[in-house]
Amino acid sequence: MLQKLKALKANAIQELESIDIAKELESWRIRYLGKKSELTQILRSLASLPIEEKRAVGACANEVRAELEDNLRQKEQALQKAQLALSAQKESVDITLPGRSFPRGHLHPITQTLYEICDIFGSMGFRVMEGPEVEWDYYNFEALNIPEEHPARDVMSTSWIDYETDSGQRPMLLRTHTTSVTARTIETMSPPIRVVEPGRVYRYEASDATHTPMFHQIDGLVVDKGITMGDLKGTLYEFARRFFGEERKVRFRCDYFPFVEPGAEMAIECLNCGGEGCRLCGNSGWIEILGAGMTHPEVLRRGGIDPEVYTSFAFGMGIDRLPMLRHNIDDIRLFYGSDLRFLKQF
């Protein structure tokens, strides 16, 4: 009997080893461990055996059963593992292949900069206003204390529109600064006023790495009771802090623009050299960012605002320079060249 058990065990184990498909394990189990298996038969027949033999055979049979069950479990696990490995091979993806794209275009860096600036001023309560790009001499110059033959006209070489009045005047031009919108705002809005005015501006100038005949500016205007130059400084410093970062040093110095008095210019510490002086900043360590000042009482009066009641500040800033500084762009013409190899970088 013991011999028989031994042979049975050897058979069963050998057969189990040759199995490599999970579902064959069940028939093996039925054959060797099932109710009708030889082993079960033996165990059932134990009762009819003499006591000594019963003990010996019983122990041996139980041992064989435990061993076979153990082997089955191991085999099951092994097959499961193999199965998993196999399906992993079939189902895995090459995660390094490029994904199917949802192509997205980029906004132009100037647009992005304008939105950022308008957001910063918007959060300080400024409203965005726009005005015409083809403008009357009056709003571009006269209303801003720049009468005809004023030397300030020389630094803003003007493109004039080919249109003459009956008296031979040429009153239409491409605005040279967005300050023309300020002149219109003063005339059309009543205080309190808090606006920024972005847009395209034009100069009669040849193109080079730092000049284009068209570029972008943003002007700002605040009119209210009790507006001071301290408020101007605070507003501009806050803008600089948010646009250029907390640690960037700022300078506020006296400068001249016909439509403000006192006038000022704000510069930031050179981003390239950190104030040491380099070619970018003309060795001064500073980069001029904007012109500003307290709106000239004559400009307010001309637009119908009483300077004895209200005070006002105004500022104007070139836009193109800002992404140039930020992204280290050395040629302004790239902005208007429509080259995707450039634009897609932003």
Which residues contact Zn ion (rule: CB under 5 A)? 270, 272-273, 278, 280-281
Q: Does 149 bind other proteins (CB under 8 A)?
A: yes
Which C-beta is closer to other proteins: that of 8 or that of 218?
A: 218
Q: Does 132 bind other proteins (CB under 8 A)?
A: yes
- CA–CA separation, 179 vs 171, rounded Å? 17
Q: Which of 326, 313, 129 lies closest to 243 in space, CA to CA?
A: 326
Q: Does 213 bind other proteins (CB under 8 A)?
A: yes
Is the CB of residue 286 less than 8 Å from the CB of residue 251? yes
Segment interacting with other proteins (CB under 8 A) among 22-30, 61-69, 178-186, 219-227? 219-227
Q: Which of residues 243-302 bind other proteins (CB under 8 A)?
A: 251-256, 258, 261-264, 282-284, 294, 296-297
273 binds, among Zn ion, other proteins, none (CB under 5 to 8 A by kind): Zn ion
- CA–CA separation, 278 vs 272, rounded Å? 7
Q: Is residue 231 classed as helix, strand or coil in its secondary structure?
A: helix
Q: Is the peptide bond before 262 cis (omega within 30 degrees of 0)?
A: yes
State the Rg of the chain over Cα: 43
Residue nearest to Zn ion (CB): 270
Is the CB of residue 129 less than 8 Å from the CB of residue 181? yes
- Classify the C-alpha dihedral 239-240-246-252 as positive or negative: negative
Q: Does 211 bind other proteins (CB under 8 A)?
A: no
Which C-beta is closer to other proteins: that of 48 or that of 96?
A: 96
Give the shortest CB-30-to-other proteins separation in angstroms: 50
Give the shortest CB-282-to-Zn ion separation in angstroms: 8
Which C-beta is closer to other proteins: that of 9 or that of 177?
A: 177
Q: Does 168 bind other proteins (CB under 8 A)?
A: no
Give the shortest CB-271-to-Zn ion separation in angstroms: 8
Is the CB of residue 281 less than 8 Å from the CB of residue 249? no
Give the shortest CB-251-to-other proteins separation in angstroms: 8
Which C-beta is closer to other proteins: that of 35 or that of 341?
A: 341
Sole residue written with tokens 């499961």: 80
Q: Find the farthest-apart pair of alpha carbons in the chain and give their distance in angstroms, rounded.
A: 141
Give the shortest CB-90-to-other proteins separation in angstroms: 20
Give the shortest CB-319-to-other proteins separation in angstroms: 11
Q: Does 241 bind other proteins (CB under 8 A)?
A: no
Q: Does 335 bind other proteins (CB under 8 A)?
A: yes
- Size of the chain, expressed as the number of residues it contains: 346
Segment interacting with other proteins (CB under 8 A) among 7-15, 32-40, 57-65, 93-101? 93-101
270 binds, among other proteins, Zn ion, none (CB under 5 to 8 A by kind): Zn ion
Q: Is the peptide bond before 192 cis (omega within 30 degrees of 0)?
A: yes
4 binds, among Zn ion, other proteins, none (CB under 5 to 8 A by kind): none
Q: Residue 110: CB partners within 8 Å, gap ≥ 6?
A: 216, 319, 320, 323, 335
Q: Does 179 bind other proteins (CB under 8 A)?
A: no
- CA–CA separation, 216 vs 116, rounded Å? 14
Q: Which of 294, 288, 296, 255 lies closest to 146 in space, CA to CA?
A: 296
- CA–CA separation, 321 vs 21, rounded Å? 72
Q: Does 331 bind other proteins (CB under 8 A)?
A: no
